[in-house]
Amino acid sequence: MKGRARLTAAGGAGLIGLVLVLATACTGQESGDAQSAGGDRDGGDTVEVRISPQDGAGQVAPNTPVTIEAPDAAVTDVRIEQSGGAADGSGQDADQDAASSGSGDGSEDGSAASEVTGTLSDDETTWVSDWNLTPGSDVTVTAAAERDDGEQTEVTSEFSTEPATEGKRLELQSNFPTSGQSVGVGMPVIVNFDLPVENKAQVENSMEVTSETPVDGAWNWFGDETAVFRPKEYWEPYQHVTVDLRLAGVEASDGVYGIENHRLDFDVAREQISTIADSEHTMTVERDGESIKTFPISNGRADVRKYTTTSGVHLTMDKHEDLVMDSSTMGIPVDSPEGYKLDVDYAVRFSNSGEFTHAAPWNGRLGQSNESHGCTNMSDADAKWFYDESLMGDPLVISGTDRQLEVDNGWGYWQRPWDEWMANSATGEADTTDGEGTPGGVHAEEA
């Protein structure tokens, strides 16, 4: 899809986003596969323009491409209007909360996530839509073309798309981060769906990540319902990232269609990377390349695997000013000799196997030995500082233990080397976050 000229077709409630304004408005229309309009003022041949799907068509699969062909002219303008349908053609803000997902008022301009761009052929005679259509919508396509002799024409095709049926509507269940958040340089884009996805390449190609500083990145799947995008290296700090989830009309599985588009906007903040050398019992925090803090800590005592702090590239996930830590969540009954139930302060999660940094005023061996059940113990003051200064997605790199963080333990996605990450992408191609489209197609004929 990348590297070819485009005309933009507006996909909102009205005909907007004109690319070229025609000097004349000589129009006409015939129904069928080809609509011809206009003509030479001296009685010459009309300028032929064909639109597919054809005028009057019904139950068109929403992942059918819109194609404009002008065999003897240049396509100069395409406008697409979608009304009704699953999402009424409007772009929605992505949201972490499944109950409110899609309840926002759209992207910054209210419709950019649903903008139906298209790719123009090198000779400018053919235009093909880049994205799918909204299921169950009434679609009006208006196309204009101009011949070398200056003759112009404009034709229209009106058709309707097949609706997404109950139980076969792919929807966004949750996402991380959420719009408006500031995150660390290691933050991936995590998208959770409510139904399994089989056509993973088409769904990957429907989700476009754009950053102010373009980088290579790719999606991986963890199960059939979770897609994760991460760049090859950490994000450059101090920049804005936009994720357009153009899910409307994508056929996720046989007969299962996405019903809404979403836009997610977030900011990558300062670069804060923390490191822990397990044997040294210290944590060092670097910000924008400079060391700013060193803390005494105490990691897992490591007499058994479950009490061993994991080594690897972790990301800070969430944080709690106060948190009850219950050993039963790790399969250890509270009333057993090894059981515990503690109230801890300033807890910052860095895996899903019960690992947090947190205040541990009872631990008198900070900076001297590892005494915990796997967490990183800190003093009250140090734990509060780290809690206050941490953002979701900050890297926390731990080394020196014999237990490695699994790639699917929390957000251990940086544990997968880039070549393996690429090998696990359904498209098999890196996606450069330059706003020039995704690596492949999203339509049925491109499967």
- The catalytic residue positions are 358, 375
Query: How is residue 112 written in tokens?
Result: 């950019």
Residues in contact with 349: Cβ distance below 8 Å, sequence separation at least 6, in sequence order = 316, 317, 318, 319, 320, 355, 356, 410
* Among candidate residues 144, 123, 132, the one with its CA nearest the CA of residue 15: 144
Query: How is residue 329 written in tokens?
Result: 């969540």
Is residue 145 within 8 Å of residue 71, measured between CB atoms?
Answer: no
Instruction: Tell me the sheet residues that pair with 79.
Output: 142
Give the start-end residues of each E strand in 19-60: 34-37, 47-52
The DSSP code sequence of 55-100 is: TT--SB-TTSPPEEE-TTSEEEEEEEEEEETTTTT-EEE--SSTTT
d(CA 358, CA 346): 5
Is residue 228 within 8 Å of residue 189, measured between CB atoms?
Answer: yes
